[in-house]
Structure 1
């Protein structure tokens, strides 16, 4: 076998790579993706009057979430333990609250007279937590 030329990173002659793989193609599609995502989120929020997406906790409590956090979930075993332990008037600390899935429930369960202190160091999750508290009237 004869040695041939070294392999090239260029496509063979006559074959053009898809433009979407080029940096220019990626940037050209970005505005379309952003608009599509906004439209999708707007459609998701229609049932809640454009405010968010309704989800139900394991106990059936409705929780209003931002579309980008619609995958917030609760573990049924944790939920039942928390529900049993937290009483009206309690003070609850939620350290690492993320987007507030449990903090929102705690805020309802401690009423009247209780307080929830939810801490979240990640900026994106903290913004979600803050908006969720506002959306749910807590």
Structure 2
């Protein structure tokens, strides 16, 4: 199998250089050390924002489930039938917001993956720093339920 000229020049091992070239988007060109160091800031913020988006999505989904009805009051779903789950039904607006925020979180995750796929050690560390900060602040969404606590 023959490789194209573009494919043979791809770096497939981690390196630390300031000349990354195009980073994620065509307009984001990194070819000086200053541009590289300044590019680490949005990369860190990208990873932090990913955790924030998933935390917002999780809190939106769980806040609509928190209300509880008394045992004597039957909860009805959107069609007027009794809801046997014991939880109030999620309205369409809440589901829409949850879907949009979750989609944003997934997009931010994929953008972080593209940054890591540059195989640049400095940008890889920037993603890890952002992941650590994001998880430290909003990381409750990815913990198993037994570790989350009751509040």
TM tier relative to shorter chain: under 0.3
Higher strand share: 1
Q: What TM-score, normalized to structure 2?
A: 0.21
Q: What TM-score, normalized to structure 1?
A: 0.23
Higher helix share: 2
Structure of greater Rg? 1
